[in-house]
């Protein structure tokens, strides 16, 4: 018996399968939508294709690798952001009087930029010049930093649907299917509710969470 070929996660996939993997990772694991967006037949055929593809060892390895990469990148972003947030000019320039005073007061970490201009103003002959120091301080925008951190951590999200919203949308789709079915019957068509529901999902994949095909299978 020939030895089984070792699966390598970096082994290239055919274009359509590679697109399926990209879509699956990007949309959060919706196999049916990933298959449809990759060019597979829509509706129930996409469900079958997704089920078959997700059992493929090469595809599973590619998905796992991409998810690992995404986690690593997310951790790198958070680590970089955290290091920037912890940075303190007072630790870099410990001899600066203004920064030392700000650190004692607990505000030095808020200073983004410190600029000092020094000049000596001449005086009467025999007198030492007058030293003038102009200091400009720029502080971090704490609100912008908080918003950016929220985006990175996924805290800034669109409002989630509540149970009432979901129930209302489910009923709306159910009513639409019934209206189409009644109209088809009146026109003498032998189309079924299941066929109407599948066609609806093929045209609007986002309705999948509101339309349960098992309710229409005879």
**Tens of pLDDT, residues 56-67:** 888 888 888 888
- Report the pLDDT value the prediction gives residue 209, as an integer from 0 to 100: 83
Q: Does the pLDDT at position 121 exceed 60?
A: yes
CB 69 within 8 A of CB 63: no
Mapped onto helix, strand or coil, the DSSP state of residue 126 is coil
Domain-by-domain residue ranges, the chain? 1-86, 87-153, 159-218
The CA distance from 25 to 53, in Å, is 14
E strands, the chain, are: 111-121, 130-139
Closest CA to 46 of 202, 200, 216, 197: 202
pLDDT tens for each residue of 167-191? 888 888 888 888 888 888 888 888 8
pLDDT at 33 over 70: yes
Q: Give the Cα separation of 140 and 158 in Å (integer).
A: 27
| Rounded mean pLDDT, 192-205 | 86
Tokens 């299978």 label which residue? Answer: 217
Overall average pLDDT of the 137-145 stretch? 70
At 142 the pLDDT is 62
- Out of 118-122, 136-140, 184-188, 193-197, pick the least confident: 136-140
What pLDDT score was predicted for residue 158?
A: 53
CATH architecture of 1-86: Orthogonal Bundle (1.10)
Answer yes or no: pTM beyond 0.85. no
- pLDDT at 148 > cutoff 70: no
């Amino acid at each position: 018996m020939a030895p089984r070929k070792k699966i390598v996660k970096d082994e290239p996939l055919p274009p359509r399968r590679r697109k399926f993997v990209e879509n699956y990772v990007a949309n959060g694991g919706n196999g049916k939508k990933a298959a449809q967006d990759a060019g597979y037949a829509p509706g129930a055929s996409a469900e079958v294709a997704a089920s078959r593809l997700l059992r493929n060892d090469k595809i599973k390895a590619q998905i796992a690798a991409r998810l690992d990469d995404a986690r690593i990148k997310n951790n790198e972003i958070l680590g970089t952001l955290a290091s920037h947030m912890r940075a303190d000019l007072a630790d870099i320039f410990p001899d600066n009087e203004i920064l030392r005073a700000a650190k004692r007061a607990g505000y030095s970490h808020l200073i983004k930029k410190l600029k000092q201009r020094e000049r000596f103003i001449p005086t009467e002959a025999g007198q030492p010049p007058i030293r003038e120091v102009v200091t400009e301080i720029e502080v971090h925008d704490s609100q912008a930093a908080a918003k950016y951190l929220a985006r990175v951590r996924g805290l800034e999200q669109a409002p989630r649907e509540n149970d009432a919203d979901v129930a209302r949308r489910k009923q709306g789709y159910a009513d639409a299917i019934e209206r189409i079915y009644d109209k088809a019957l009146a026109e003498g068509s032998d189309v079924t509710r299941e066929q109407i529901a599948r066609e609806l999902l093929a045209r609007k994949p986002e309705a999948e969470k509101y339309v349960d095909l098992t309710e229409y299978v005879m």
